[in-house]
Amino acid sequence: MAAEAAAVEIKGPQPLAQKPARRRPARAEGQREAPVRYFLGAKDGDSASPSLGREVGNENEALIESLKNGASYYVVSEFRAVPDMTGKAPTIRKEAVRNQ
């Protein structure tokens, strides 16, 4: 009786199993990312509280002007508090303010 040879399939290197991509948590309905504004520090900005000077268009401009003047720059986001009555207990959530 002839010996039956088992068919063995030789495979090359197998790719590693890919991990699923991490997902950001979904934003709550109505929750938006706040627009940011960039301000140079005022010349008299040595006090304990920040004093805002001229506003610049983006972070790159703020970095360059800060380097030229030796002053700080500030990144400001604006929010307002909004009551949320959808759940069992009322909560307060923040809402980004959009400037026109």
In DSSP notation, 16-67 reads PPPPPPP-PPPPPTT--PPPEEEEEEPTTTTSSS--EEEEESSHHHHHHHHH
Averaged pLDDT for residues 59-81: 93
Q: Per mean pLDDT, which range of 5-19, 40-54, 73-87 is the poorest? A: 5-19
Q: How high is the pLDDT of residue 42?
A: 81
Give the pLDDT band of residue 45 (cuts 50, 70, 90).
Answer: low
Reply yes or no on whether the pLDDT at 26 is more than 60.
no
**pTM of the full predicted structure?**
0.57
Task: Please indicate whether residue 74 or residue 4 has the higher confidence score (pLDDT).
Answer: 74
